[in-house]
Amino acid sequence: MENISSQQTVKQSFHLLKYTFVIVPIVAGADKFTNILTDWEQYINPAMADLLPFPAAVFMMVVGVIEIAAGILVWKKTELGGYIVAGWLTVIALSLLLSFSYVDVAVRDLVMAIAAFSMAKLSKIVA
């Protein structure tokens, strides 16, 4: 009985992580086009923004497309998508830490990266 309960707990945890990493990247990615949730341009490292050959708003739209694609990838190929989302969130966090701005967001993104990595690992035993 204990083993079945543990298996169910692992499965439920996996699915909670999976649907979180499907929905959140898609919503955040779509919001890069509307800025309803926040002004996403404020999170760009100023040194990086100066290097862009186009406006920061265009860059954020490109980021939005990538995030939407990542959410869909998690839905279709959870293990691969989980590793990609974990890497993506780590890069975002490192960018924020390098500019020493929004350190709280950087820490949150690193925690989310660990969760996405864990989801990818769990997908091997749950899926």
Q: How far apart are CA 10 and CA 28, in angstroms?
A: 27
Q: How far apart are CA 17 and CA 12, in angstroms?
A: 9
Say if CB 49 and CB 38 are below 8 A apart.
no
Say if CB 75 and CB 22 are below 8 A apart.
yes
SS3 readout for 37-88:
CCCHHHHCCHHHHHHCCCCHHHHHHHHHHHHHHHHHHHHHCHHHHHHHHHHH
Domains of the chain, by residue range, sit at 2-126
Residue 3 binned pLDDT confidence (cut-offs 50, 70, 90):
low
Say if CB 11 and CB 119 are below 8 A apart.
no
pLDDT at position 117 over 80 = yes
Which residue in the block uniquely carries the two structure tokens 């020493």?
Answer: 100
More confident residue, 72 or 44: 72
Residue 38 binned pLDDT confidence (cut-offs 50, 70, 90):
very high
> What is the phi-psi region of residue 52: left when phi exceeds 0, alpha when psi lies from -120 to 50, beta otherwise?
beta
**pTM beyond 0.85, yes or no:** yes
